[in-house]
Structure 1
Amino acid sequence: MSVFASLVEQLADLLHPLFAGASTAAAIVAFTMAVRLAVHPLSRAAARGQKARVRIAPQLAELRKKHAKNPERLQKAVMELHAKEKVSPLAGCLPSLLQAPAFFLMFHLFSSGRMAGHSLLAAPLGGHYADALGNGGVFGPAGRVYLVLFAIVAVVATYTYLRTRKQQALNPVQAVPADQPGAGAMAAMTKYLPLLSFATLISVAAVPLAAALYLVTSTTWTAVERAFLYRDMPVAGALAPAA
């Protein structure tokens, strides 16, 4: 914990000439970007895996049709296909899993009182949205800081939502066949999965402002990173005019 605290404090000292009283907030953003940059190679690997899964999706559909009445043979055939094409079903989870420890450590740091005396404009970094509402309301000095964060998250979430829905529409072959166990639950989860993009709005309102900065920066990075890594996939081209 002290290592993370020291890193943020050192970054804040370096950035103080440029950001003055908001240097700690700037340091949190810089730290978040450093964490995301560190796991970027894994994100690139996950992107390659996703593209490979799209490429082999027709083969998977054919295997499901061929072995529809033999789940064990189907599972073995799918594993063999993944091994042949060097596709890991878990590759996409690695970037998120490696970010989780950093987030929880930072969240504990933000909640430990070490943010006392630090602020972003009029909003204390250790405070919550409820504090801002009680001190000036929605359009008060602190409330306006949160409004900016909410606006950023809303734009990013909307883009992610539209992109995910478009990706699902362009790759229907990845859907689970209706006769497979758990197909109903999987279909429901797939239908509502894009809406999870907006859950960050609730998180930003619930966590300390310092943690909210971490979330907003990381979420924005994810959207930009995915647009770059998946730019050669059909979904990226389909969304280009809207973006």
Structure 2
Amino acid sequence: MDLYSVAPVAALLQAAVAAVTALSSALAPLSGASSTALVIVLVTLLLRATLVPVGRAQVRAEFVRRRLAPQLRELQRRYRADPALLSRKTAELYAAEKASPLAGCLPTLLQAPIVSTVYALFVLASINGQPNPLLAQELGGVPLGTSFLAFLRATPNFWPALVLFGALLAVIAVTAGFSRRLAARYASPVVPTAQPAATRLAALLSWLPFLTVGFASVVPLAATLYLTVSTAWTLVERGILYRSFAATGPGS
């Protein structure tokens, strides 16, 4: 079954199309043919601004885990023979500090519905039974509904897309490198725990920014633009928060 054809989802997407179209028309005198792309940038900035408290809580949790490293090692030493008790004691310690070993997942999970919506708005030929007007919108002569790989296959005149997508993907890649270096600089000491799944997940998430580069090359340009702005915001936000907590401590 097509999820996008389900009545509540279709109605939500239709409302999103109407909102984007209205905002694009309002911004047209300022940005011309790129007004829809500007709407995407502004929506991304608004979303990330609303998620600042979530990002702050995440970084705080990272610093709390760093401070708890000696206690976690002691719990491992005392209860290694009883994994169930070790898991419970570890959970109690995190709960007492109002932290979570999986706090890093929250911002990604909260953004997933937004990325999915942007993706749907620029890949569906029709929404709720009506033609999708957003597919005709462009940025730098490249349709917002076309992905980098699809554009290369569809036309021999791919230089506008190559330049535009190349710039966006380069920003994501460079941002990913700096983000991983920043995270490694402030990483918590490695502590053996009874939760290997959480450790493996944290290691996998450290490479997530680089996976974004591949993902951004196959999604519509609109979604690539969203990912570019969002990842750049994340790098700047994390840099500020890491330095703030390093100077004042996680209790600030």
Which residues of 2 match residues 66-85 of structure 1 at below 5 A?
Answer: 66-85=78-97
Match of 2:192 in 1: 176
1:144 Cα deviation from its structure 2 partner: 0.9
Match of 1:240 in 2: none
Q: Secondary structure at the match of 2:244?
A: coil
When the two structures are superposed, what TM-score results if normalisation uses the length of structure 1? Answer: 0.82
Correspondent of 2:151 among 115, 132, 136? 132
Match of 2:224 in 1: 212
Which residues of 2 match residues 84-95 of structure 1 at below 5 A?
Answer: 84-95=96-107
Q: Secondary structure at the match of 1:126?
A: coil
Using the alignment, how far apart are the partners of 2:157 and 2:232 within structure 1? 26
Supply the AA of the counterpart residue of 2:149.
A
Supply the AA of the counterpart residue of 2:136.
G
Query: Quick check: 1:175–1:187 contact (8 Å CA) kept in 2?
Result: no
Asked whether 1:222 is paired with 2:234, we answer yes
String of CA shifts for 1:203-230, please: whole Å, max 9, x gaps.
1110111111111121112111111221
Supply the AA of the counterpart residue of 1:175.
V
Using the alignment, how far apart are the partners of 2:195 and 2:114 within structure 1? 36
Supply the AA of the counterpart residue of 2:101.
P
Using the alignment, how far apart are the partners of 2:206 and 2:107 within structure 1? 19
Query: Quick check: 2:21–2:36 contact (8 Å CA) kept in 1?
Result: yes
C-alpha distance 221-67 of structure 1, shift in aligned 2 (>3 A): same
Asked whether 1:64 is paired with 2:76, we answer yes
The share of aligned pairs that are identical, in percent, is 37
When the two structures are superposed, what TM-score results if normalisation uses the length of structure 2? Answer: 0.79
C-alpha distance 47-137 of structure 1, shift in aligned 2 (>3 A): same
Using the alignment, how far apart are the partners of 2:238 and 2:173 within structure 1? 17
Using the alignment, how far apart are the partners of 2:119 and 2:170 within structure 1? 22
Q: Secondary structure at the match of 2:69?
A: helix
Aligned Cα RMSD in Å? 2.6
String of CA shifts for 1:111-130, please: whole Å, max 9, x gaps.
11333221101211111212
Moved more, 111-120 or 21-30: 111-120
Structure 2: tracts of 5 or more residues without a match? 1-12, 126-131, 248-252
Using the alignment, how far apart are the partners of 1:186 and 1:85 within structure 2? 19
Structure 1: tracts of 5 or more residues without a match? 236-243
Asked whether 1:155 is paired with 2:174, we answer yes
Residues paired across the two proteins, number? 227
Moved over 4 A (4+): 180-183, 185-189
Query: Quick check: 2:48–2:230 contact (8 Å CA) kept in 1?
Result: yes
